[in-house]
Amino acid sequence: MTGTAEHTGTRRRGPFLITAGALFVLLFDGNLPTPLYSVYRQRFGFSGTELTLIFAVYMAVLVPSLLVFGQLSDQIGRRRVLIGGLSLGAVGLILLAAAQNTAWLFAGRIAAGIALGATAGTAAAALVELEPGDDKNKAALATVLAQSGGSAAGPLVAGALAEWAPAPRQLSYGVGLVLTVVTAIAVSRLPREQVSGRWRPQRPSVPAEIRTRFARAGLSAATVWAVGGIFLSVVPSYTAQLLHTHNLALLGAVSAMMLAAACAVQAVSVRISLSPQRAQPAGLLALVAGLAALIGAFPAKSLVLVVLAAVLAGSGLGLTYFGAQSEINQLAPGEQRGEVTAAFLTCVYLGVAATAISAGLLSDLYSLPTAIAAVGVAAGVTALGAFGWQLKR
């Protein structure tokens, strides 16, 4: 029996790692443009509002795609949806690499948004089903590490290549394209699933018996990723103003630092067996402290406060998101896992969209430090509200 169990675990570990890799690659691809927007603005001459619209259209297609493809993967299988998402992600990278004007950026981000929407919920559900020991906490760790790690690696790699390598607007997308094609080939070789092959569009839903717990986890995750959205969209520009620098490697590293902190605390959370009920409120408090440091960094002209903000906010994101994803994995019924996971991720990306778009619009109307302060205060108040709800379990 022991030999059989070991063989089964080994057999399933490959598909589990490939699926986690697919999620990592799509987040890596989706965040490659983060440090490059300043380059695009100089070359194509668009405003801060247009930059916000590029981000908004990405979210506008990502959220419906999560809901549609989360259901679809429950019916036709995770493998098919993952291959489709990776293929469309490759198209998005080609469009961005070939961009000649702002319209190409819009097209590339639309393709990337649909690709990530198709892949994110599907991969998260597949990881629960493929985890060799049927451990939902380890599946949650793989999900959040792939998302946070991919989101961190994208701007870090793109910033370094744009600063120190040739073809700053193309090379990082070439790297992403190679990774995406290799990953798609690996996914295509995963075992075929036994599925009905039929799908009827229907209104996404969360089972009534889990809605309260779902809403609490969804609000907490949305709040911490709303702050993550600030770091991935406007904090690089904020840092550039603060330090009077255009070093793309440094600006990409600021976003990566926040998400690297998230990955580190997620790994520690599993190692010490931190429960979702404890991880979420602890993370929300760390997030509030990080926001306070971020808001105070500009008046103080302090890089130290920016770094502290990244570490605290990243730790808060890591703790809270790990706890929320673990709770959703435990709550979701097997036959609706893709649908419920997609609904949860919809909450997450709505939070990202709300702060990133608000900060972009406010920075055009007032100033970037004012926008960061306003959005940061709103996110902090929401985090404190979510913290209070977490304590009322």
In whole angstroms, give the CA distance from residue 12 to residue 90: 27
Provide the pLDDT confidence category of residue 51 given band limits of 50, 70 and 90.
confident
Q: How many domains does the chain have?
A: 1
Is 195 within the bounds of a domain? no
Tokens of 327: 């709770």
Query: CA-CA distance, 46 to 49, in Å (whole number)?
Result: 8
* Domain boundaries, position 167: 9-189+209-391
Residue 254 falls inside a structural domain: yes
Q: Is the pTM of this model over 0.85?
A: no
Interhelix angle for 235-243 vs 248-271, to 10°?
130
Of 297, 275, 288, 295, nearest to 393 by C-alpha is 275
Average pLDDT rounded to a whole number, residues 121-132: 89
- Using one digit for the tens of pLDDT, what is the confidence trace for 234-285? 888 888 888 888 888 888 888 889 989 999 998 888 888 889 899 999 999 9
Residue 1 lies in a domain: no
Domain annotation covers residue 197: no
Other CB atoms within 10 Å distance of the CB of residue 158: 29
Q: Is residue 198 part of a domain?
A: no
Q: Is 201 inside a domain boundary? A: no
Q: Is 17 inside a domain boundary?
A: yes
Task: Give the number of other Cβ atoms within 10 Å of residue 188's Cβ.
Answer: 13
Mean pLDDT within 340-356: 89
pLDDT attached to residue 204: 61
- pLDDT tens-digit map of 377-393: 999 999 999 999 999 87
- CATH code for position 58: 1.20.1250.20
Question: Which range in 114-128, 190-204, 304-318, 341-355 is most confidently predicted, on average pLDDT?
Answer: 304-318
pLDDT band at 199 (very low <50, low <70, confident <90, very high): low
Contact in structure between 297 and 242 (CB atoms under 8 Å): yes
Q: Is residue 2 situated within a structural domain?
A: no
